Amino acid sequence: MHQLGGAEASPAVQVKSGFSRAFWALIGVQFALGVSLSVFLLLPKIMVARFGAAPSYVGLLQALFGLAGVAVIPIVGARIDHERRVPMLAAACLLMIVTSLGFLLVRSAGPLALVLRGSQGAVWALVYSAGAALASELAPPGRLAQTMGLWGSANLVTSAIAPAAVEPMIDRGGPWTAYLAAAVAGLVALGITRLVDETPPGSTAAARAIPLSGVLSRPSTLRMMLIVLIAGAAWGAMFTFHQPMALGLHMRNVRGFFIAYTAGALGVRLVMGRAMDRLGAFRMTAGALATYALVVMGMSLLRPGWLAIFGGLFGIAHGVLFPGFMALVVDSAAPEERGRLLSVWNGSFLAGSIVALPLGALAASVGYPPVFVAAGFATLGGLGILLRWPPVAYQPAAPPVL
C-alpha cells in the first residue's frame, strides 16, 4: 500500500472512492496551478489584439514555452525518482506567481513577454513531471488509466474555466486583471502543496542504478518520445493558432473553443474512465490518435460558428488519448523508473510546442489552414508509429528457483 509521511497509510486517510487524501490534495494543486497557467491560453489573442503581434511572434511565444520546458527536463528527470516531488511543485507555484506579476510590465509584443512566457514552460515541466509521478504512485490497484485521467482532468477543466472567466475581464479592464488573477491562483496552489504528503522516492538500489540516459536509450522510449512530440505539436497548433485565425475571420470571442474542448475531454473521461482500463489502453489510444489527426486537419476549414464544434471534438480525442497513452507508458516501465519516464514524456510534449515556431512562419507566408493540415498529417504519422510498435506491459522479474 502507498505510504504517507513515511508510515503505512491507514483506512482513515482513504476516502470512499478509494483515492487517498494525499491524491485529492495533489488534485487541488493541479487545479489551482492549472487556473494560473490557463489564463495565459489567451496570450495569443492579447498579443494580436492589443499589440498587433505577427504570426511569427505568436509562434515564437509558444516555441520558447516549449524550449524552456525541455531545458528543465534533464534536471528534473535526473532527480525525480530520488528526491521529494512536493518541493518541485512548490517551486513551480513560486515561478508561476513571479511570471504572472511580471506580465504587468509588458507594454508591447517584445522580448519581455517572450522571456516570461518561456519561464512558464519551466513551470509546466516541473508541475507535470512531479505531479504525474506522484499521481501514478497514488493510483489504487487496477485503476491507473482512471487515476491519470482524473489527475489530468484537474488541469483540463481549467482550460474552460480560466478563459471563460478572464476573457470578459480583459475586454473590460485590460490584460492586467487576468495577470493578477493568475498570480492569486498560483498563491492558492502554493498553499495546497503543504497538504500533499509523500513517501521519499529513490530508496531502492534499482532506482539509483538506472540513470536517465539508460531510460532514454531504449527503443521503446524513443518511440514514445516521437509519438508524444507529434501530439504535442498538434496540440500546440490547435491552441496557438486557432485564436489569430478566428480573429481574422471576424470572430471576436474565442472562449467557446476552450469551453467545448474541456466539456468534450471531461465528458469522455467521466463516461469512459473505468472503460479505459477494461477495454485496453492500446486500442483506446490508437483510436484517439486517429481522431486527433482528423480534427486537427479539419480545423483548416474553420468558419464562424464552428469554433466550439472543433473545440469539442478535439477535447474528446485528447480526453482519451493522453490518459490512455500515459497508462501504456507507465505500465511498460518498472516502478522505480516511472518518474523519469514521465519526465521524458513531458519533455517530449513540450518539444512539440517548439514546432510552433516554423508553423508560425508557415502561417505568415501561406495562411493558417495549411498549418492545421500539416499538423494533422504529422499526427497520422504518429499513429503509424504506435501501430507498428505496440507497447508491452511491464512484467516483474520472476523470483529465482531454489
pLDDT string in tens for the chain (402-residue length): 333 333 333 333 444 457 778 888 889 999 999 999 999 989 988 998 889 988 889 888 888 888 888 888 777 766 776 678 888 899 999 999 999 999 999 999 999 999 999 999 989 888 888 887 788 777 777 676 667 777 877 877 888 888 889 989 998 889 999 999 999 999 999 999 988 877 655 544 444 556 666 677 777 788 888 999 999 899 888 988 888 899 889 888 888 898 899 889 888 877 766 666 666 678 888 888 999 999 999 999 999 989 999 999 999 998 888 877 877 777 666 666 777 777 788 788 888 878 877 888 888 889 999 999 999 999 999 999 888 765 555 444 444 344
Tell me, what's the pLDDT at 390? 55
CATH number at residue 291: 1.20.1250.20
- The answer as to whether 321 is a domain residue is yes
pLDDT score at 67: 87
In a domain, 383, yes or no: yes
Is residue 201 a contact partner of residue 79, using CB atoms and an 8 Å limit?
Answer: no
Asked if residue 206 is part of any domain, the answer here is no
Provide the domain limits for residue 266. Answer: 20-200+211-388
Q: From the CB of residue 396, how many other CB atoms can be counted at a distance below 10 Å? A: 7
Cβ 286 vs Cβ 383: under 8 Å: yes
- In 10 A of CB 377, how many CB atoms? 13
CA–CA separation, 290 and 282 (whole Å)? 13
- pLDDT value, residue 388: 76
Bin 110: left if φ > 0, else alpha if -120 < ψ < 50, else beta. Answer: beta
What does each C-alpha distance from 237 to 44, 68, 139 come to in angstroms?
12, 18, 32
Residue 398: predicted pLDDT: 42
Separation between Cα atoms, residue 304 and residue 312, nearest integer Å: 15
Does a structural domain hold residue 10? no
Count of domains forming the chain:
1
Q: Are strands 3-4 and 7-8 parallel, antiparallel or unpaired?
A: antiparallel
Is residue 344 one of the residues assigned to a domain?
Answer: yes
Residue 398 lies in a domain: no
- Tell me if 141 is assigned to some domain: yes
Using alpha carbons only, give the angle 254, 132, 159 rounded to the nearest 5 degrees.
10
Distance, in Å, from the CA atom of 358 to the CA atom of 236, rounded to the nearest integer, reads: 12
CA distance 74 to 169: 38
Local structure of 389: helix, strand or coil: coil
Task: Return all residues near 381 (Cβ < 8 A) that are at least 6 apart.
Answer: 230
Predicted local distance difference test score (pLDDT) of residue 401? 41
Distance from C-alpha of 53 to C-alpha of 110, rounded to nearest angstrom:
9
Bridge partners of residue 7, in order along the sequence: 4
**What one-character-per-residue DSSP string does 24-93 give?**
HHHHHHHHHHHHHHHHGGGHHHHHHHHH---HHHHHHHHHHHHHHHHHHHHHHHHHTTTS-SHHHHHHHH
Residue 201 confidence (pLDDT): 55
Task: Return the pLDDT at 97.
Answer: 97
d(CA 369, CA 275): 35
12, part of any domain: no
